Structure 1
Amino acid sequence: MTYTLGIDIGTFESKGVLVETATGAIIAQSAHPHEMIVPRPGWAEHRPEEDWWGDTVQIVRALLAESGVAPGEIAAVAASAIGPCMLPVDADGAPLMNGVLYGVDTRSEKEIADLNAEIGEDRVLETCGNALTSQSVGPKILWLKRTHPEIFEKTARILTSTSFITHRLTGEYVIDHYTAANFSPLYDVGKLGWSNALTDGIVPLEMLPNLMWSTEIAGHVTAEAAGQTGLAEGTPVLPGTIDAAAEAVSVGVRHPGDMMMMYGSTIFIIQVTDAPVRDPR
C-alpha cells in the first residue's frame, strides 16, 4: 500500500493530509497557524522560511508521527497554497524579503495603472485572459524593481508560495500553468508560456520558474529536505497549484458547468467552461 501527502498553505493556517493513494481514505491530518503580516495599510505578507517552509516541515513530521506510515511508503508529495504570491530569492534560493501575498495586497496599484496605460487593457485581456488587478504578480514585480532596486539586483528568481516549497523539497524552480496565468502580463494563455510580448520592462523571463503541469513530476526530495522533514530521499514531488484550483478538483469540479464556491479568508468561485471566457470583471 502507498500513500500520498498533501500540504496546503493558507492565509492564516497551513494544513496537511496523508491519504491512501488508491482509495483517498484519510490516514492523518495536521494543521499549524501563522500570522499575516500587515506592515502598512494595503500590504499583506508572509515569512517564507517560517510560515511556508517551517509549517511544511512541522506538518510533514506530525503526519508521519501520527500515522506510523514509513516514509518509503509515501508515493508522492505536493503542495497547494495561497496564490499568486511574489517572492524574490537569491542564487541559492534564499528569500530576499517577505513574500508579498495575493489580491489582499494592493501595493502595486500605480504599477497596474502604468502597465494598463502602456499596453492597453484590451491587449492585456486578450493575451493574458484576465485583467490586471491586485491579484496579478507582474505589477508587484515591477513595484519591487522600482522601489527596491537593491533587492531586485540580487534576485535570481521570482517565486510564488508553491514554487518556494517545491524548491525547498527538490532544489528545482518550477510553477504550474494555472498559477503562472496569474503572473499577468507575463503569461500568454494562448501560447501557454511566458512572454514579454506585451512589455519587456518588468523582468527577464529566465528569472521566472520553469513551467509544468500539476500532474508532472517536478523533482525528488533531496537529502537535505529529507533530513528536515522526515520524508524519504527520492520521493517524487509534484509542482502543486493554487489552493482554489486544488480544492475545485478535490470536490469534483471537472466538467463544463461544474462550479465551486470556496469560503476562506477570501471567496473564490470557479466554474469549468467549454471555451475560454475573457471578461474584464
Structure 2
Amino acid sequence: MEPTTTSCYLGVDLGTSSVKVVAVDEEAAIVVSATRTYPLHSPESGWVEQDPLDWWRATAEAVREVVDEHPELRIAGIGLTGQMHGLVALDDAGEVVRPAILWNDNRTDAQVQEIVERVGGQDRLLALTNNPALAGFTAGKILWLQQCEPESFAQVASVLLPKDYLRYRMTGINATDVSDASGTGLFDVRNRRWSDEMFTLLGLPRGLMPTVFESSEVTGYLSSATAEELGLPAGIPVVAGGGDSVLQTTSMGITQEGAMGITIGTAGIVAQAAEHCPDNVGARVQVSCGNEPGRWHVMGVALTCGETLLWLTRALSTVKEDLKVADVVRLAESAEPGSQGLRFAPYLVGERCPYPDPGLRAAWFGLDLRHTAADMARAGIEGALLNVREIRDLFASLGLQADRVLTSGGAARFPLWKETLSNVLNTRIEFVRGGQGGAAYGAALLAGIGVGRWRDLDDALQAVGTEEYTDPNPGIAGLYDNVFREFKAMMAGLAAYRAACGQKEMTP
C-alpha cells in the first residue's frame, strides 16, 4: 500500500537572527516549522554584517529537519522572504565577495547625502522612486562599497538582496520580487520596474541588479545538486516571494485599504495596503509594491520597538544575572501608567520613521530621585509605543485612514504591550489568528498561488482572521493623550539640542 502524502508549500523567511521554514498544507494551515540561528557581526561601530554562507547552512538544516521528520510531505512549491535592503555582492562565478551588509547598518550616511545631490534633490528622487534615500537602503551600500572597498567592488558582477541569495543557491538564477526591490532606492515603485535614470545618475551598471518578478510568479526550479542537499526532489518551482516587512503585513490578512497592521518585533512596523501608489509627501514613510499586481504597501519602520525591551533586559542583567524579558515586563507592570513623568526617546540605533535620521540616539527626560527601575522599564515600553502613535498620525496626514488596527509580533504576547498600545492609540487592537508563521507563512501562500492552488491572496488568506481584542481604558487613554503631547515636545527639544551640537537635525 502506497504511503499517504500531503501536498505542502514551503515558506522560507531569512530573518536578521534566524531562518524560519514553514510547511503549509492545501487548507492554508501550518503543518510544521523549523528554525536555525546564525551570528551577527559588527566589525566597527554602526556596522552590521552577516556571512551569506551561514544563511545557506542554516536554511539547508531547517529544510532538512522539516522533510526528514515529515517524509509524508510532498513539497509542491517554495516561496522566499527575508530581511530587506541588504547587500549581497557576488563575483562572476557566483561566489560571495564580502560579508553581506544588513538593513540596520548605518555606515552609509555620506553616500545617502551624495545620492540626493547626484539625483538633483529630494523632490527629484521622490519623482523617480517615491522613496527617500535612507541609510539602510541598498543603493547607499553599493556606493559605499565602490568608494570604500574599491578592490572588492571591482570583483562584483551582481548584487542580490538577502533572500535572493537563497534563490540563487536553489535555482542558479538571479531574481527578486517587486516588494523587495522597492527597498533598494533604485526602483520605480509607481511603475514596478527598475529606474534606469537612477542607475545612470549614480553611474551604476543596470545589469548589477537582478530581474524583477511579481511576488507569486515562478522564478526558477530547484536544481539537482541543491535538491540533494535539501533532501527534496529536483524541479520544485520557486516563486519570487516578498520582502519580510511587506509580506508580514500581507500574512496578517491586510490586502485591502482600511486596515492598519502593527508588528511589534525587533523593529516596529506600521503598515497599510493601498490600491494606488500614494505620493510620499515629506518622504517620511516607505512606499513599496504590494505582493500582488495593482497593490501597494505603505510602511513606517521604527527601528527600536521590541529592541527597547531587549536592551533593557541586557542592561539590567548586569545587576541581576539570568534576567529574562518576561522579568522586565513584570517590573514595568509594577509601575503606574505614565511612569511618574519619566519619558524615553527610543532611538537606540538611529531612526527611520517618523524621524529619518541614522544619527539620532535615545535619551531619558524628566529623570529624578523618585524614579525606580520599574519606572524606567515602563517608560521604555511607553516610548516605543508613543513613537508608533506618531507614525499612525503621520499615515493619517497622508490620507491613509484605518478603521481597524491589527497587531502581531513577539512583544504582542505580553498583555502589558497590548494594553499600552491600545491605550496609547486610544483604539481597539485586534490580534491576528491563523498567520502566526508571519512572513514565512505568507511566502508559503505565494508559492501555492504560483503553482495554482489558490487564485490570489484573498483566496489564500481566508484562514486568517482575528481571535481576540483589547479595548482602551478611557481614563488611561486620556492620560496618554497628555503624555503624547509631552513626547512631541521632548522630540522638539531633542532636535534643538542636536542642532546646537552641530549634529544633523531631525525631520520636523
TM-score, normalised relative to structure 2: 0.53
Q: Does 1:54 align with 2:54?
A: no
Q: Which residue of 2 aligns with 1:106?
A: 106
Give the equivalent residue in structure 2 for 1:14.
19
Contact 2:172 2:223 in 1 (8 A): yes
Q: 2:116 aligns to what?
A: 116
1:203-242 maps to which residues of 2 (within 5 A)?
A: 203-242=204-243
Q: Is the 8 A contact 2:128 2:195 kept in 1?
A: no
**Is 1:82 the counterpart of 2:83 in the alignment?**
yes
* Distance across 2 between alignment mates of 1:198 and 1:205: 9
1:37-94 Cα shifts (integer Å, max 9, x gaps): 11111111111011x2111101100011222235xx2110112111121111011221
Instruction: Give the secondary-structure state (helix, strand or coil) at the position aligned to 1:42.
Output: coil
**Aligned equivalent of 1:69:** 72
Q: Provide the C-alpha distance between the structure 2 equivalents of 1:269 and 1:228, rounded to a whole number of angstroms.
A: 38
1:177 aligns with 178
**As a proportion of its length, which structure holds more helix?**
2
Cα distance in structure 1, aligned partners of 2:92 and 2:143: 20
- Matched with 1:32 is 36
CA deviations 1:107-133 (Å, max 9, x no partner) are 110001111122211111122111011
Q: Deviations over 1:151-200 (max 9, x none)?
A: 1111110001111000100011001011111111x211233211231452
Distance in 2 between the 1:139 and 1:196 partners?
A: 17
SS in 2 for 1:80: strand
Distance 1:198 1:87 in 2: 20
2:271 corresponds to 1:267: no
Q: Does 1:139 align with 2:143?
A: no
Whichever residue aligns with residue 179 of structure 2, its letter is Y
- Look up the SS of the partner of 1:2 in the other structure: strand
Structure 1 residues 90 and 153, CA gap change in structure 2 (3 angstroms) = same
Indicate conservation of the 8 Å contact 1:86/1:160, yes or no.
Answer: yes
Q: Distance in 2 between matches of 1:74 and 1:273?
A: 32
1:243 aligned residue: 244
Q: Percent identity?
A: 27
Contact 1:13 1:31 in 2 (8 A): yes
Structure 2 unaligned runs (5+)?
A: 1-5, 285-508
2:111 alignment partner, SS class = helix
Q: Secondary structure at the match of 1:190?
A: coil
Aligned AA for 1:5?
A: L
**DSSP 3-state at the match of 1:122:** helix
Q: In the TM superposition, what is the alpha-carbon distance from 1:202 to its structure 2 partner?
A: 4.2
Q: Using the TM superposition, give the Cα deviation of residue 270 of structure 1 relative to its aligned residue in structure 2, in angstroms.
A: 1.4
Whole-angstrom CA distance in 1 between matches of 2:217 and 2:209 = 18
**Residues in 1 aligned to 2:116 and 2:252: alpha-carbon distance in whole angstroms:** 36
Change (3 A) 1:191 1:276: closer
Aligned equivalent of 1:151: 152
- C-alpha separation between the residues in 1 aligned to 2:241 and 2:276? 24
C-alpha distance in structure 1 between counterparts of 2:221 and 2:199, whole Å: 35
2:129 is aligned to 128
Letter in 2 for 1:36: L
State the structure with more CA Rg.
Answer: 2
Task: Identify if the C-alpha distance between structure 1 residues 116 and 58 changes in structure 2 by more than 3 Å, giving closer, same or farther.
Answer: same
- Distance in 2 between the 1:66 and 1:261 partners? 34
Q: Give the letter for the 2:256 counterpart.
A: H
Contact 1:162 1:239 in 2 (8 A): no
For residues 249 and 227 of structure 1, the distance between their equivalents in structure 2, rounded to whole angstroms, comes to 32
Q: SS at the partner of 1:79? A: strand
- For 2:190 and 2:23, the matched residues in 1 are separated by 36
| AA partner of residue 12 (structure 1) | S
How far apart, in 1, do the equivalents of 2:106 and 2:113 lie?
Answer: 12
Check conservation: 1:142, 1:202, Cα contact below 8 A.
Answer: no
Q: In the alignment, is the contact (CA less than 8 A) between 2:171 and 2:223 conserved in 1?
A: yes
1-structure distance, mates of 2:64, 2:20: 12
Alignment check: 8 A CA contact 1:248 1:260 kept: yes
| Conserved 8 A contact 1:111-1:139 | yes
Q: Which one has more relative contact order, counting CA pairs under 8 Å at least 6 apart?
A: 1
**Match of 2:354?**
none
* 2:199–2:205 CA contact under 8 A, matched in 1: no
Q: Secondary structure at the match of 2:94?
A: coil
